[in-house]
Amino acid sequence: MKKALLKQVVGIDVAQKELVVSLGKMDQGASTYIYAYKAFVNNEKGFTAMILWVKKQTDADSPLRYVMEATGVYHEAVAYFLSDKAYSVSIVMPNKITNFFRTLETKTVTDKSMSEAIALFGLEKKVEDWIQPKKVFRELRQITRERDQLIAERTILKNQLHAEQVEAYPSEQTIGRIKIRIKMVDGQLKETLAEITAAIKNDTEIGKSVNLLTSIPGIGLLTAAVIMAETNGFELIRSKKQLTSYAGLDVKEKESGTSVKGKPRISKRGNRHLRKAMYMPALSAIRHSERYKAIFVRIVSRTSIKMKGAVAVQRKLLEMTYTIYKTQTPYLNDYLKTQIVKDPALNS
């Protein structure tokens, strides 16, 4: 009689247009194997094809789990698709996969090697079931992303208006049409702000969290809304390190042996919406908060690169949002001196 496998994992490396999938299994002796690999299109047709392929390759009598990395945007559609069909799904923070990958013999980073690493991670580590976020977080995420697109569109229109106005022979008809479009976008921006405000006001728990986050220098209502929306109320986050990794604000160093060493850079492998949302608050905090101004000055004096100082403040601000949320305590200028943080995750 064939013995059932202990675990079966579908490791998915998610890109914008493609899902790179590796299948792994753990036998009764707790040995793990990667035994199949295939790529699929990142759309509903591709999801269906992937499920059919997985069914043919796996044992129907053994536990099966789909594991993927939290890429910020591109993993969402396949995660919802699988969850709606009652499959076991786990979403893992990028820093966990990266750290696990370093322990493997394979050192070359490719889509295939990453999908294999994700599958092995799901086999060897304890992973949690992913639960679909509350409806309010989905709605907030849709509205805040729409607002971000509208702001980008308005910037383009204003640049077009300026370019037309400084022409030697500007077209009044063109200028008029551009102004109408700018006015329309301004109206839509007001609508999205009203919808965001209403969503926060109508949910007591989110309203309380937003009030706490906005006590931090530089963090306004819209930034707090983006943070809550993009993290699903910090549902997947277990530490400050995980949060900065999820946003792609973690620092990556490239080394090879003892002679080749690249410059440290932020990974940018994460949620670009969350990362972008922290940029303007960081500039505001640098101007108006002595604490964050000191961080900025210290980094710039050491590196002579202002962008590095700004990124450091972005990271510190984002970490502070997690601390404030977990402790449910408003921000204080002397917070670090007066508060004893009891949650060990806050120091991770």
For residue range 113-123, what is the model confidence (pLDDT) as tens digits? Answer: 999 999 999 99
Mean pLDDT of 242-266: 63
164 backbone φψ class: left, alpha, beta (φ>0; ψ -120 to 50): alpha
Highest mean pLDDT among 86-100, 151-165, 260-274: 151-165
What are phi and psi for residue 74, nearest 5 degrees?
-70, -20
pTM of the shown model: 0.76
Residue 39's contacts (CB-CB under 8 Å, 6 or more residues apart) are 18, 19, 20, 21, 111
- How far apart are the two ends of the chain, measured CA to CA in Å? 47
User: Would you state the pLDDT for residue 131?
Assistant: 87
User: Would you state the pLDDT for residue 341?
Assistant: 46
Mean pLDDT of 87-113: 87
User: Would you state the pLDDT for residue 73?
Assistant: 73
Rg of the chain on CA atoms, in Å: 23
Mean pLDDT of 168-188: 96
Q: CA 114, CA 194: separation in Å to the nearest integer?
A: 42
Q: Could you give the angle at which helices 135-165 and 221-230 cross, rounded to 10 degrees?
A: 130
Q: CA 75, CA 248: separation in Å to the nearest integer?
A: 15
DSSP, collapsed to helix, strand or coil, labels residue 311 as helix
Residue pLDDT, tens place only, 303-313: 999 999 999 99
Candidate from 191-195, 198-202, 225-229, 338-342 with smallest mean pLDDT: 338-342
Is the pLDDT at 256 greater than 50? The verdict is no
Place of tokens 């990958």: 101
The percent of residues in the chain predicted with pLDDT above 70, rounded, is 89
Is the pLDDT at 249 greater than 80? The verdict is yes
* CA distance to 112, 270, 317, per residue, from 301 (Å): 41, 28, 20
Q: CA 230, CA 273: separation in Å to the nearest integer?
A: 7
Helix or strand holding residue 92 (H, E): strand 88-92
Mean pLDDT of 45-65: 95
The percent of residues in the chain predicted with pLDDT above 90, rounded, is 71
User: Would you state the pLDDT for residue 258?
Assistant: 41
User: Would you state the pLDDT for residue 260?
Assistant: 44
Question: Cβ distance 3 to 29 under 8 Å?
Answer: no
User: Would you state the pLDDT for residue 340?
Assistant: 43
Mean pLDDT of 160-170: 94
- Sheet with strand 64-69: strands edge to edge: 32-41, 18-26, 7-14, 64-69, 88-92
User: Would you state the pLDDT for residue 98?
Assistant: 84
* CA distance to 81, 208, 243, 295, 338, per residue, from 291 (Å): 44, 25, 21, 7, 15
